[in-house]
Amino acid sequence: MNEDDQPLDPAESLRLIERERSATARRIIPDPRLLLWPWGIAWLIGFTVYFLRFGPDGHVTVDMPAWLPLVVLLVLIFIAGTITGFVGGRAARQVSGPTSRQGKMYGWTWGLAFSGMITVLSRISELLPTAQATLLWTGTLTALTGALHMAGGAIWNDRTMFRLGAWLSVVNVAGVILGPGWHALVVAVAGGGGMLVAGLVSWLRLPHVADGERARR
């Protein structure tokens, strides 16, 4: 019988259980900050650049080439997507079963839903003036993002994710009513900001983080 086989006293057992459970959770649950902050930053910067170039009533706050805002936004979205894909893929390689299957299906849902949206909008948007075309793209993008977050909240019974989705959906409608230009500002600040807040809240609610905070107090 080696040391590993030695029985423990009850208090030691409980401490060991807690320690091992939180060590494992830390390693297998993807950090929500890594999943949400890249998107929050992408929206915050990307749509702010849009607002600065395509403001309300065609106002140009910062003079830059008309193609630049879209390129900036796409690059930021590409970076955010790569980070999310990497984090999600790493989680899927560690744990197999229902959890990773759900994650994969949800990932495919985003991919296919956005492909559908892009296909439809690119056939229509060229017929519209720039301001309306921009509103069509950003308004639909935000509506779809809001709906997918709400659905994700329903799938994982995750209130923070659901609230983020509902918030994006409501803010989007408000922005669209305010009109072209304002919509980009609203989505940048309230939408991107909402993602940053949701990432922080989800992180603080992780069992191992919450337990750690309690232990420090």
Partner 1 sequence: MTDDAVPELDPVIHAQARLRVVSSLSTLREGDSIAFPRLQDILRMTPGNLSVHLRKLEDAGYVEVTKTHQGRTPATLVSLTRRGRLAFEDYTTAVRALLNGGAGSQEQS
Cβ nearer to partner 1, comparing 59 with 205: 205
Cβ nearer to partner 1, comparing 74 with 95: 95
Cβ nearer to partner 1, comparing 28 with 71: 28
Question: How near is the Cβ of 15 to partner 1 at its closest, in Å?
Answer: 10
- Who's near 205: CB < 8 A, 6+ residues apart? 160
Question: How near is the Cβ of 162 to partner 1 at its closest, in Å?
Answer: 19
Per-residue tokens: 72: 């900036």
Question: How near is the Cβ of 24 to partner 1 at its closest, in Å?
Answer: 4
State the residue for tokens 């779809």: 144
Cβ nearer to partner 1, comparing 92 with 128: 92
Question: How near is the Cβ of 212 to partner 1 at its closest, in Å?
Answer: 15
CA angle (182 as vertex; 179, 166 as ends), nearest 5 = 85
Per-position DSSP letters for 138-198, written without gaps between them? HHHHHHHHHHHHHHHHHHHT-HHHHHHHHHHHHHHHHHHHH-TTHHHHHIIIIIIHHHHHH
Cβ nearer to partner 1, comparing 28 with 204: 28
Per-residue tokens: 34: 């890594």
- HSE-CB of 84 using CA atoms within 13 angstroms: 21
- Taking CB atoms within 8 Å and a gap of at least 24, the contacts of 153-158 are 155/102, 155/106, 156/102, 158/202
Question: How near is the Cβ of 106 to partner 1 at its closest, in Å?
Answer: 15
Cβ nearer to partner 1, comparing 13 with 61: 13
Question: How near is the Cβ of 10 to partner 1 at its closest, in Å?
Answer: 4
Burial of 136 by CB count in 10 Å (0-12 exposed, 13-18 middle, 19+ buried)?
Answer: middle
Site residues, partner 1 (CB under 8 A)? 3-8, 10-11, 13-14, 16-17, 20-21, 23-25, 27-28, 93-100
